[in-house]
Structures are given as C-alpha cells and as structure tokens.
C-alpha cells in the first residue's frame, strides 16, 4: 500500500508541476520527465500516443493537464488516507461444531450471530462475545411493531441462519448443511430493577455499540425470549431434537 501511495503522490506532483509551472504554460512544452518523475518515464511513453490522439480529437494540452491534475490529486487523497491492510479488523469465529453435536451447533449459531428475524429483522445478543448464555436479548422500541405486538401477544420466534457468518461456502442458505435455528417462546420485558438488566445491557452494547447512542426519546427497552421450543437443521435427515434444558445447560 505504501508503494502505491508514493506512486500516486508522485503522479499528482508531476501533474501539478506540468500544469502550473510558468515555463510550461508559456511555451506549452513539457518539463523534462526525468527531472520530475524518473520512475514514470517508461509509463509516460506508453501514455504519450493516447495523449496525442486525444489532442488530435480536439482536447487542448491545457485541458488535459487540468483534468489530469485533478484526477491524480483525487486518487492521491483516497489512497493516502486509506488505512493499511494490516490494521483491518479480522473476526475469527470459533469452529463450527460437528453436525452430530446438535446442541453445540444451536448454541454456536446463537452466540455468533448478531441479528435474526423476530417478526422483523432485529439485532440481539445472548451474552458477552465468547461467553453467551443462549438466551437472546433485544433492545426494542414500541415505535416498532415487533415490541408493540409482543406486549399484546408475547408468542414469538427468532430465526437464525449460518449463512451470514460466511461459513456455508457456496451452499445456498436453504441447503440443510447450512445450519438454521428457530427458537420459539415468549418475548418478555426484562425487569429494569433486576441484575439481569445490567447483564443484558452489557451483552447488547458489547455486540452493538451503536445502541448506546440511539435516541432516548424512543424509549428503548430490553426484552428477552423465554425459550419453549427449538428447531434446528444442520445436516440432511430432518430437524434435530433439542429440549430447552439441553440447550441452556450446554457448556455448564
């Protein structure tokens, strides 16, 4: 990246010198290439026939210099401000459990996913990263029908897929080998005076930092899904039988 940034910065400097240099403007002659950008000499010779062709089509050398200067200036800004590849955040997921481990796969899906479908697309968290409880928590406002309807009828289901995690390869999301999980139960408000509220808030904000800045006037509240039934498909042969107790006790 540093080589590319230096390369483009040199191009921008060369273009600006050619456009603004008083001698070049007066005589419409190029400045000596080797003095400005010796490394670009061979590339410039390749571009010269194209520039001559454009000039014959009616583009003046000054207009070419003008557009060339601003094109190179723009590219130099973009590349010089780009963060180096080494600083990119890399998310490493724990390995997917063996399809024979149905309970482990279900907890893996709940722990690694950031969002799912709960009457609508929603963000959720089951605990701090790497230390999930299996119980999904949500940060919802009654301005969204998801929370508004749940307060009238708590019956709900959260559906998750392995596909957003990028571990399905070229498989279609509906392929049985691309795991999918549906947790069915009751969507309940978490008591704001309980210790669970602090746990849920930490879990949600750890995975979704943006939530902390959501408008206070929208009156967001913490909900949890009390799981009553579990539907998992992670391989061919139909859904795997898992009880809520097996699911919640996994890893304890």
3-state secondary structure of 248: helix
What is the predicted pLDDT for the residue at 90? 41
- Using CA atoms, how far residue 33 sits from 11, 104, 145, 219, 237, in Å, is 12, 65, 66, 65, 70
Residue-wise pLDDT for 61-91, tens only, equals 454 454 555 555 555 554 445 444 333 334 4
Q: Which domains does the chain have, with CATH numbers?
A: 2-86 (no CATH), 102-249 (2.30.110.10)
* Model confidence, pTM: 0.64
Confidence band for 251, pLDDT divided at 50, 70 and 90: confident
> Which ranges of the chain would DSSP assign to H, the alpha helix?
2-20, 22-27, 33-36, 41-56, 61-81, 102-112, 145-150, 195-207, 244-249
Q: How far apart are CA 221 and CA 189, in angstroms?
A: 7
Checking if the pLDDT of 25 tops 50, the result is: no
Residue-wise pLDDT for 114-159, tens only, equals 999 999 999 999 999 989 999 999 999 999 999 999 999 999 999 9
Residues 6+ apart with CB under 8 A from 1: 79, 82, 84, 85
Residue 182 DSSP symbol: E
* Residue 129 main-chain phi, psi, to 5 deg: -55, 130
Checking if the pLDDT of 179 tops 60, the result is: yes
Residue-wise pLDDT for 211-223, tens only, equals 999 999 999 999 9
């Amino acid at each position: 990246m540093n080589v590319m940034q230096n390369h483009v910065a040199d191009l921008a400097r060369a273009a600006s010198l050619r456009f603004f240099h008083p001698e070049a403007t007066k005589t419409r002659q190029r400045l000596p290439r080797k003095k400005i950008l010796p490394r670009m000499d061979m590339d410039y010779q390749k571009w010269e026939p194209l520039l001559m062709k454009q000039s014959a089509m009616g583009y003046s050398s000054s207009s070419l210099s003008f557009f060339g200067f601003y094109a190179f200036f723009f590219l130099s800004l973009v590349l010089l401000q780009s963060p180096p590849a080494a600083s990119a955040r890399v998310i490493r997921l724990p390995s997917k459990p063996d399809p024979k481990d149905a309970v482990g796969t279900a907890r893996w899906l709940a722990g690694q996913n950031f969002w799912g479908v709960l009457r609508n697309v929603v963000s959720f968290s089951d605990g701090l990263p790497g230390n999930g409880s299996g119980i999904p928590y949500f940060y919802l406002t009654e301005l969204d029908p998801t929370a508004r309807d749940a307060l009238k009828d708590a019956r709900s289901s959260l559906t998750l897929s392995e596909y957003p995690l990028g571990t399905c390869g070229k498989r279609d999301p509906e392929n049985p080998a691309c795991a999918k999980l549906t947790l069915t139960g009751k969507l309940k408000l978490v008591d704001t005076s309980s210790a669970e509220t602090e746990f849920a808030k930490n879990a949600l904000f750890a995975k979704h930092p943006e939530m902390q800045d959501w408008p206070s006037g929208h009156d967001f509240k913490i909900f949890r899904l009390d799981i009553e039934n579990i539907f998992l498909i992670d391989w061919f042969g139909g859904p795997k039988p898992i009880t809520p107790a097996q699911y919640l006790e996994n890893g304890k």
